Amino acid sequence: MSAPLPARFPRIVLVGRPGSPALAEPLVRLARFLAERGHAVALESETAVLAMQPELPAVDAVALGAAADLAIVLGGDGTMLSFARQLAPHDVPLIGVNQGRLGFLTDIPLARMETALGAMLDGRYVEERRTLIAATVERADGSREHALALNDVVVNRGALGTMIECSVEIDGRFVYSMRADGVIVTTPTGSTAYALSAGGPIVAPQVPAFALVPVAPHALTHRPIAVPDNSLIAIAISHGRDASVHCDGQAHFGLTEGDRVALRRADHRARFLHPHDHDYFAMLREKLHWSETPERIRGIK
């Protein structure tokens, strides 16, 4: 007797971190677990090569939005960022299974994957929607390039090592000019990434804000600024022979003097599902070792 078709998420696509042979066995195990529950399971095309399961259909990455009701990502935050950007316009939710590294978006431990996912697929989950940044690189010659970012957009110096000079506008109003290694514009999601190491604030996911975080500014009076996420932010390069802009560290564009990076809230948001007992601040305590002594972090009693 075949398993009944599940009411929630009948079509699930599995995505694995590229170049991670250790994920082959968990991927196969998870595919079997989901199929036994009655879900139609497919593998993202690169993941299919990793799992080597020819009996499962493979879906090209660009077709995931139309082929899935849910995507489960096994790996790390980098893999999650890539597919969250891709699936946001299609309103497909994602669940993250952590490969064992520090992960703020992939919050289910691999060791209890089936237990946690079983409960979530039975309806015991919480949902978060995360804001993305739509970035447009406006060239001095009039050409434009576009990219999305879930974590952050970083304008910074290049390999030559000299500071860049840039000016920042918000909603068409001049805010400041700055000499620095760069500036980070981060979403709440990205506030625990590069922006945090540069001295930026942690912004809870429910806060509708972007933060602008200078990187090693020449003037020590430059400080992070939080602005409403419906703001239009523009960063213009006034001097910098080797500047560049990076979106989530995955899309990269070179910049020259006179180029401008325009940033706004994207039209679509990413959807993430978490276990029903998910607690954002408990996650921060665990990942950032709050209230831990160095001895306890090293496991010394």
Q: Distance between CA atoms of 116 and 85, rounded to whole angstroms?
A: 24
Whether 132 contacts 268, CB under 8 Å: yes
Question: Looking at 212-216, 235-239, 293-297, which range is the least confident one?
Answer: 293-297
- Tell me: pLDDT of 1 over 90: no
Whether 168 contacts 158, CB under 8 Å: no
Alpha helices in 122-274 (DSSP H): 194-197
Write down the pLDDT at residue 107.
87
Write down the pLDDT at residue 29.
93
Q: Distance between CA atoms of 85 and 279, rounded to whole angstroms?
A: 23
CB environment 13-26: b (16+ within 10 A), e (fewer): bbbbbeebeebbeb
- Tell me: pLDDT of 300 over 90: no
CATH code for the part of the protein at 133-265: 2.60.200.30
Residue 298: pLDDT band with limits 50, 70, 90: low
- What torsion do the CA atoms of 124, 109, 18, 68 make, to the nearest 10 degrees? -10
Q: Copy the structure tokens of residue 110.
A: 């691999």
Residue 21: pLDDT band with limits 50, 70, 90: confident
What is the domain partition of the chain in residue ranges? 11-130+269-297, 133-265
CATH level 3 topology of 11-130+269-297: Rossmann fold (3.40.50)
Write down the pLDDT at residue 301.
47
Q: Which long-range contacts (CB under 8 A, 24 or more apart) does 90-94 make?
A: 90/64, 90/65, 90/66, 91/268, 91/271, 92/64, 92/65, 92/68, 92/271, 93/127, 93/271, 93/272, 93/273, 94/70, 94/270, 94/271, 94/272, 94/273
Catalytic residues: 77
Write down the pLDDT at residue 50.
81
- Tell me: pLDDT of 257 over 90: yes
- What's the pLDDT tens digit per position in 173-228? 999 999 999 999 999 999 999 999 999 999 999 999 999 999 999 998 999 999 99
Residue 270: half-sphere exposure toward Cβ, Cα within 13 Å: 28
Question: Looking at 72-86, 93-107, 239-253, 277-291, which range is the least confident one?
Answer: 93-107
Write down the pLDDT at residue 4.
60
